[in-house]
Structure 1
Amino acid sequence: MNGFSRLVRQTMTIARRDFVATVFTPTFLLFLLAPLLMLGFGTIGGLGAATMAKSGDAKSRIVFIVGGEQARTVVAMDKQLRRMFRTSEQPSDLIVEAPSANPRAQAKALIDRKGVDTYAVLYGPLERPQILHVENAPRSAEYLAELASQVLRAERAGTDAPLSEATKTVVSRTTTSSSGQGQAAFVSVFALFLVSLMLAGQVVGTMAEERSNKVIEILAAAVPLESVFFGKLLGMFGVALLFLLFWGTVVVNLGANAASVMPPRLAAGLSEIGPAVGLVPYGMLFLAYFVMAYMLLGAMFLGLGAQAATQRELQMLSLPITIFQVAMFGFAAAAAANPDSWVATAAELFPFSSPFAMAARAANSPELWRHFAALAWQAMWVIITVTIAARLFRRGVLQSGSPKIRRKKVVAATS
């Protein structure tokens, strides 16, 4: 058996040991179901926020002080203008009130009325209307001003009915839109960040735990330290892959069932979101970049965890690790938003942000040659990072390797 075969066999032995020790434990089930718990808490928080927002919207309004025939025209024009807004972007409910003897005092009283939020009030002649509005509602004031202008146009035209009837024809895109590709790029970066945040950080604790109970010293005495590091990285990657296979199957099944009951308008909107390289190549590239992102971040975290002697030191490392991951996410997200900028090039070249940025590149651009070069570049940095981590651990923690240099210096000095 040559040296390379022995190295591979030793690496796989360490990987199998870590994989079995992690998966065949009761806590792994909690780890596997962690996204379900996160989704549950997120849903509860989202429902609470939505309830508060709806209760606030129900109490908000804008007021148009006008009387006579103009009041009916205001209501008709308001209905026409609201058709141009999305449901979530529509102005507050319009209330039409007859003017009093002092319209300005009436408008001020409406703004100050308790129990209801009045954002803006219009009063006075429509040729020169006066609008009172609160500080954070300039758009409500603009809407009332445009509504007054439309009412005057309707009066001069002699009708409040639409002056033209357009024929609207729905057509389907044959390709994904540019905005859809941009959305797919951001989703790619976010998905890689999310899974790497949940999975890659696990490797930090494995080395620190085995260092504290002296197991790492036994392993280092039996096999090369590079095999230990590569083996642990591969073992924890197997755990991450099992996690992804489980949740990937769940998401695909849920997505297939949801597509059959999805509203046509929502389905049409989702159909415009897609990667530029195509779904099949994108799926393969996304998996490849997940492997590279996990290996790169995992190798770096493995080296950091190997330097931690206690759990307190490990906890202190968790904050810088999280900040680094968030920084890589922000770097790659900026690259996804500007695919042809220097930021994108820098993010694609920097090893630890390269998988995220290149996943976004697959969504934004149909070119494939960049990805082969990027994967080779990232694989090289995985080897470099693991090698550096192993050497730092050998010289800094095990304190071996460097004495040879000192002995050579001593021999040279005596000769």
Structure 2
Amino acid sequence: MRNIFLVIRREYLVRVKKKSFLIMTFLGPLLFAGFYAAVIWIAMGSVDTKTVQVIDESGLFKNEFKDSEAIKFKYLSSTINSAKSNFQKSGANALVYIPREVIREPKGVRIYAAKNVSMELKGDIEKTIEREIENIKLSRAGITHKILEDSRVNVSSETISLSDEGEKTSSSGAATAIGVICGFLIYLSVLIYGTQVMRGITEEKTNRIVEVIISSVKPFQLMMGKIIGVALVGLTQFSLWILLTIAISSVSSSLIAKRVPENSKVMVQGMDKVKSAEMAVQQAGGVDNPVAEVMKAVNSLNIPLIIGTFLFYFIGGYLLYSALFGAVGAAVDNDADTQQFMFPITMPIIFSFVFAQFVLRDPDGGLAFWTSIIPFTSPIVMMVRIPFGVPAWELILSMVLLVMGFAGTIWIAARIYRVGILMYGKKVTYKELAKWIFYK
């Protein structure tokens, strides 16, 4: 065990002292926030106001097309032929022609443009015309807007779980969001840090450093030290990202609060009064509060169970796949040769993430059950299922099989590692790997 701890210490310190680790850990949240801020700024600044000319022969759509920051509508009284001939000189982006018999022949609407118009603009124009035609037909049938408004009903149902503990409020939306986030984090971490284990072993083998290390450390101890060391690096990075994100959010909130003008305090006080009134209405069974709904949805989940199982499946999935990645790194001489062995390892990870999309539709179906039991897919799929509620026996069976799974993969990887780590200049095949496993 002492040798394993020494390897873990070496792997951890070497990686956390690298400039790339420090840069990505401390600047990662800032770069991530800056990237999205730049995207939003570019998106907001790149919106050009477009001018759309309208010729309405029916006379039914006057002032129905509403101007916005992106689109300005201009009604023309000329004929369509005259408008088409002057279109290039007008500088307009599009010309909409509405025929006289548009109600009887709605397909007669035409949109002219020097270039193809965007799908968004085309859709807005079509929806406006469709809505007005519907209103006219309903009015002719004696149906007014008031009747339509009174007939519209908003149904907001509340889901309640029935269990041995009694009735308990649940939220499908919160369960879906938490499940997807947990599954994606495991998917991403297994690929990133598992690949780091493989590349670290390949690099040491290529540089012949491993020949010196192996003289005082057993191959199994070296492999386990690398796997656990990289795992600790990953946990350190994730923890720092979470802390830095919270710190950046707190600082940003305080800066925004300080920049609020003094004369806006009255407005804030007024808003507080409005919020108090809204809360009173809600307590009386009135309008729903989105923030309260979100907090209620989160509180309906078993957060301690989700956190505990996430840590278990995070570690279990990482150990299972990193052992296989380590075996591949020991079997080849360079990164180029790893491609033929990477495919069968990464496919179960990718498939499990794809299966998770179907599991969200039916968390208790046959596909959900079997993929959450099989060790190669259970770390991701089971984390998607847990927020919806999983029977205790299924969860225990999945955990036991995952422990057996990574114990088996570590044994196989160690058998390959002890032979391949000192083998050079030979193209390894799957048949050769099978022989290494049973070497004495």
TM-score (norm 2): 0.68
Aligned to 2:133: 148
CA contact (8 A) 2:198 2:325 kept: yes
Aligned to 1:180: 174
Q: Deviations over 1:64-105 (max 9, x none)?
A: 72576x456x63xx78xx9xxxxxxx9x858473554x55x5
CA contact (8 A) 1:354 1:374 kept: yes
Is 173-182 or 145-154 further displaced after alignment? 173-182
Aligned to 1:348: 372
The answer for unaligned runs of 5 or more in structure 1 is 1-7, 83-89, 408-415
For the residues of structure 2 that align with 1:361 and 1:158, how far apart are their CA atoms? Answer: 47
Aligned to 2:285: none
Identity fraction in percent:
21
Aligned to 1:382: 406
Q: Give the letter aligned to residue 200 of structure 1.
A: G
For the residues of structure 1 that align with 2:86 and 2:138, how far apart are their CA atoms? Answer: 27
> Residues 283-322 of structure 1 correspond to what in structure 2 (within 5 A)?
283-313=307-337
Q: Which of these residues, 91, 94, 110, is aligned with residue 132 of structure 1?
A: 110
Is 169-178 or 198-207 further displaced after alignment? 169-178
For the residues of structure 2 that align with 1:406 and 1:196, how far apart are their CA atoms? Answer: 29
- The alignment's C-alpha RMSD in Å is 4.7
Q: Which of these residues, 54, 65, 72, is aligned with residue 56 of structure 2?
A: 65
How far the C-alpha of 1:221 sits from its partner, in A, is 3.9
For the residues of structure 2 that align with 1:306 and 1:361, how far apart are their CA atoms? Answer: 35
Q: Give the letter aligned to residue 124 of structure 1.
A: R
How far the C-alpha of 1:310 sits from its partner, in A, is 2.8
Change (3 A) 1:41 1:99: same
> Residues 324-339 of structure 1 correspond to what in structure 2 (within 5 A)?
325-339=349-363
For the residues of structure 2 that align with 1:346 and 1:177, how far apart are their CA atoms? Answer: 24
TM-score (norm 1): 0.71
For the residues of structure 2 that align with 1:280 and 1:97, how far apart are their CA atoms? Answer: 62
Aligned to 1:36: 29
CA contact (8 A) 1:203 1:301 kept: yes
Is 279-288 or 220-229 further displaced after alignment? 220-229
CA contact (8 A) 2:58 2:100 kept: no
Aligned to 1:14: 7
Aligned to 2:187: 193
**Are 1:122 and 2:146 counterparts?**
no
Q: Deviations over 1:201-259 (max 9, x none)?
A: 21112211222233433444434322222221111111111112111223445667889
For the residues of structure 2 that align with 1:228 and 1:49, how far apart are their CA atoms? Answer: 49
For the residues of structure 2 that align with 1:336 and 1:313, how far apart are their CA atoms? Answer: 37
Is 138-147 or 277-286 further displaced after alignment? 138-147
For the residues of structure 1 that align with 2:173 and 2:203, how far apart are their CA atoms? Answer: 46
Aligned to 1:97: 75
For the residues of structure 2 that align with 1:95 and 1:53, how far apart are their CA atoms? Answer: 20
**Are 1:280 and 2:265 counterparts?**
no
For the residues of structure 2 that align with 1:406 and 1:322, how far apart are their CA atoms? Answer: 26
Change (3 A) 1:374 1:320: closer
Change (3 A) 1:397 1:192: closer
How far the C-alpha of 1:360 sits from its partner, in A, is 0.3
- Secondary structure in 2 aligned to 1:202? helix
Aligned to 2:396: 372
How far the C-alpha of 1:196 sits from its partner, in A, is 3.2
Q: Deviations over 1:392-413 (max 9, x none)?
A: 12234446xx89x999xxxxxx
Q: Give the letter aligned to residue 349 of structure 1.
A: I
How far the C-alpha of 1:279 sits from its partner, in A, is 1.8
Is 188-197 or 320-329 further displaced after alignment? 320-329
Change (3 A) 1:167 1:33: same
For the residues of structure 2 that align with 1:151 and 1:206, how far apart are their CA atoms? Answer: 71
Q: Give the letter aligned to residue 18 of structure 1.
A: E
CA contact (8 A) 1:66 1:98 kept: no
- Secondary structure in 2 aligned to 1:332? helix
Change (3 A) 1:164 1:391: closer
